[in-house]
Structure 1
C-alpha cells in the first residue's frame, strides 16, 4: 500500500506537460495546457465517486496536498462526504469571523431608516454600546449563548430594569440579523437568558412632574428669549412630547394648527395618521419669538447642527434644583384637565395624543376633537399665563 502512494516528486512537477498525474490514493495532479495546475482528490463515499479540488499549484505544494488528501480520505472512510464536511468547516470558520460588535453596528445601520430622530442619533444603539458590547463585543456571534447574556446583564437586570430590557431586545434583533446573514446563531439565546435571570423586581418609576398649581410660577420664570426658555414654554403650552417639539418645523404650522407627522408620534396605532395640535394665542406668540432662531426649517436648532438635544431642557430644570422633568408637564396638563375641567375622557386623552377605545370604536369615531381641544388649550394657556387664578373652579365645556 505504501508503494501505491507518493508517486510524484516535487522536483518534477513544474516540468510535466499538460495531463493528469496520479500521486496515489486518489490524489491527482492536473496540468493544463496554459501551464496552470491544480490538485484534485477522488474519493468514493456511499458508492458515489466524488472529486474535490485541493487548491492550485504551486500555492498548494505537493506536501500540503498530501496532508489534505490524507485528512479527507479518512473522513470518506468514516462514511462522511469530504466536500460537505469542508463546506461545513468553511461556514464554521466564517461564523467565527463575525464578532458581535460588527453585527450590532450592521444591524443598527440596517434599521436606521425605520428609527426616529433620536434613534438614528444613537439612542437605539446606546443600551448595547454601554452594557453589552464592552463585555461581549469581541465574541463571535455564533458562540453567544444564554449564559454569556445572563452574566452580562445580571448586574443591571433588577436595578436598571428598563435599560436591561432594551439591551436584551436589541441583542435579540442582532441575533436575528446575524441569522439573516446566513450565520448559525441561537435565536432563543435571549429568551433562555431571561429564564435564567428571572422576573425583574424593579418597579417602573414615573417621570417626576410639577403639580399643575405650580406650573404658572415656573412658566413665568421662563422670561428670557433664549431657545431653551422658548422651547420649554411651548412644551408646556402644547402638552406634546419632547421629540416632536424639538423637531418642530415651520412648514408644519398652518394658522393655529401644528401638524405632527405620524412617524413623529410615539404610540400611535395608525402610523399613517398625522396628529393635529391646536395652538393657543400664547403658543403662537412663543413661536414668533423663536422664529429668528430657526435654521434649515427647524424652529429649535442646536448650536452646531440638527436640533436641540433631549437633555437641554432637563438640564435647565436640574440647575434650578427641581425634581420635575420636561416630560412631566404632560402629567401636569392631564391632571389639570381631570381636576379643573369637565373635559370628557376621550377629549382629555386626545389632548396628549393618546389613543383611546378599541379598534372598532376608533373605526367609527373619526374625529380628533380639534374644536374642543382648541378651547381647552386656550384655557390651559390662560392658566399657565396667570390670567386664570381660580384654580379649584370647574371649567364647563360649552
Structure 2
C-alpha cells in the first residue's frame, strides 16, 4: 500500500514528460509541455467525482501536495465536498483579515454626511489616525482586544485625557461598523479597555481666554493685512467659532449680514435654521481687505490649498508667548457683555450662537435678536479698536 500511495519522487516530478501521473490515493500530477505542472486531487463525494486543484509544482512540493491530499481526503470521509469546504474556510479567513485601517476608513466614509463640511477638517478621523492606527492599523480587526487598546492608549490616557476619550470613542464606532459588516469582532473591547485604563486623573480645562480689557492691545498688533491677521480680527469682532470663520465664503455675505449655514454651526442638526451675524463697520472693513486675498470665493485661504487652519491662528498667539488661544475670544466677548453692558441673557447667548431655551420656547420665538446684536457688536468693535464709551443697556424684543 505504501508504494501505491507514493509512486512519484521529487526527481521524477521534474523530469517526467507531459502527461498525467498518479501518485496514489487520488493525488495526480498534470505535467504540461512547458515543463510546469499542477497537483490535482481526485475524490468522490456523494457519488460524484470531483477534481480539486492543489497548486502548481513551482509552489507546492511533492511532500506538501501529499500532506494537502491527506487533509482533504479526511474532509471527504466526513461526507463534505473539499472544494466547497476550502472556499468556506477562505471566506472565514477573509473576515478575520480585514485590517483596522480599512475598517476605520470605511466607517469614516459612511459618516461623512453627518459631519461638518463632510469631515474635511479631519477632526473625526484624526484621533484614530494619530493615536490608534500607527500601532493597530495593520492588525486584523477580529484580533483586536482590550489589552491591545489599553496598551495603545495608556501613554495619553491621563496626559491627553480628552484626546484619548475621543480616540476610544472613534474606535468603538469602528468595531461596531465592522460588526455591521458581518465581521467577527468584540464590540465590548473598548469598554473593557476603559475598565483596564481606569479613571482619568486629568480634568478638562477651558481654552485659555484673553481678558476683555487686553483685547484692544492685541487687536492692534494684527495690522499686517495677512490672511491670518485678518481672520483673527474678524474672529474677535464677530465672536463666532473658528470653523465657520475659516470656511467663510463671499456668497454668505449680503450687505452687513453674514449668514452661516445651519449645518456649519456646532451641535446643530440638519433642520437648524441658518445663523445671521451682524457685521459692524470695522468687520466690513476687514472683509473688504480679505476679499483681495480670497481664493475660489473663500475669504481666508491657506497658502497652498484649502482654508487657513486653526493651528495657524493658534501658533501666531503661541509664538507671541500668549496663553490665550483664538477660541478664547468668545469668552472675552461674553465676559465683556456681562461686565460692561446690561444685555439680556437671551441676546447675549444668541450673540455667541448658543441655543437658548427649550424646543417649545424656541418654536414660539420668532426673533434672532438681530438688531440688538447689531448694536452690541458695534459697541464691541469700538472697544476692540480702542474706543471707549459708556455702559449700554439693550432692551429685549
The answer to whether the Cα contact below 8 Å between 1:42 and 1:49 also exists between their aligned partners in 2 is no
Deviations 1:354-377 (A, max 9, x none): 112222332333432222222221
2:206 paired residue number: 206
C-alpha distance in 2 between matches for 1:396 and 1:64: 88
1:319 paired residue number: 319
The CA deviation at 1:8 is 11
The answer to whether the Cα contact below 8 Å between 2:54 and 2:65 also exists between their aligned partners in 1 is no
Give the 3-state SS of the residue equivalent to 1:353 in structure 2: coil
The answer to whether the Cα contact below 8 Å between 2:228 and 2:312 also exists between their aligned partners in 1 is yes
The answer to whether the Cα contact below 8 Å between 2:263 and 2:270 also exists between their aligned partners in 1 is no
Distance 1:65 1:258, change over 3 A: same
Equivalence map 1:138-287=2 (5 Å): 138-287=138-287
TM-score normalized by structure 2? 0.82
Give the 3-state SS of the residue equivalent to 1:277 in structure 2: strand
The CA deviation at 1:204 is 0.6
Give the 3-state SS of the residue equivalent to 2:288 in structure 1: helix
The answer to whether the Cα contact below 8 Å between 2:52 and 2:83 also exists between their aligned partners in 1 is no
C-alpha distance in 1 between matches for 2:370 and 2:49: 76
2:35 paired residue number: none
Equivalence map 1:31-180=2 (5 Å): 54-55=52-53, 67-75=67-75, 77=77, 85-117=85-117, 119-180=119-180
The answer to whether the Cα contact below 8 Å between 1:253 and 1:259 also exists between their aligned partners in 2 is yes
- TM-align CA RMSD: 3.6
The CA deviation at 1:72 is 3.2
- Listed as ranges, the gaps of 5+ residues in structure 1 are 31-36
The CA deviation at 1:312 is 1.9
C-alpha distance in 1 between matches for 2:224 and 2:61: 80
C-alpha distance in 2 between matches for 1:4 and 1:356: 88
The answer to whether the Cα contact below 8 Å between 2:54 and 2:68 also exists between their aligned partners in 1 is no
The CA deviation at 1:81 is 7.4
- Listed as ranges, the gaps of 5+ residues in structure 2 are 31-37
1:380 paired residue number: 380
The CA deviation at 1:150 is 0.9
Deviations 1:312-343 (A, max 9, x none): 22222222221111100101111222222232
TM-score normalized by structure 1? 0.81
Give the 3-state SS of the residue equivalent to 2:233 in structure 1: helix
Greater CA drift, 217-226 or 80-89: 80-89
The CA deviation at 1:91 is 2.8
Deviations 1:30-68 (A, max 9, x none): 9xxxxxx99576566xxx778765228877899877644
C-alpha distance in 2 between matches for 1:111 and 1:269: 14
The answer to whether the Cα contact below 8 Å between 1:41 and 1:69 also exists between their aligned partners in 2 is no
The CA deviation at 1:24 is 8.4
The CA deviation at 1:175 is 2.4
Give the 3-state SS of the residue equivalent to 1:213 in structure 2: helix
The answer to whether the Cα contact below 8 Å between 1:107 and 1:177 also exists between their aligned partners in 2 is yes
1:340 paired residue number: 340
The CA deviation at 1:247 is 1.0
The answer to whether the Cα contact below 8 Å between 1:40 and 1:51 also exists between their aligned partners in 2 is no
Give the 3-state SS of the residue equivalent to 1:225 in structure 2: coil
C-alpha distance in 1 between matches for 2:360 and 2:212: 34
The CA deviation at 1:167 is 1.2
The CA deviation at 1:241 is 0.7
Distance 1:311 1:118, change over 3 A: farther
The CA deviation at 1:191 is 1.9
C-alpha distance in 1 between matches for 2:199 and 2:48: 54
The CA deviation at 1:145 is 0.8
Give the 3-state SS of the residue equivalent to 2:167 in structure 1: helix
Distance 1:86 1:269, change over 3 A: same
The answer to whether the Cα contact below 8 Å between 2:27 and 2:40 also exists between their aligned partners in 1 is yes
The CA deviation at 1:172 is 2.1
C-alpha distance in 2 between matches for 1:49 and 1:148: 49
C-alpha distance in 2 between matches for 1:245 and 1:57: 61
C-alpha distance in 1 between matches for 2:237 and 2:267: 21
C-alpha distance in 1 between matches for 2:251 and 2:178: 41
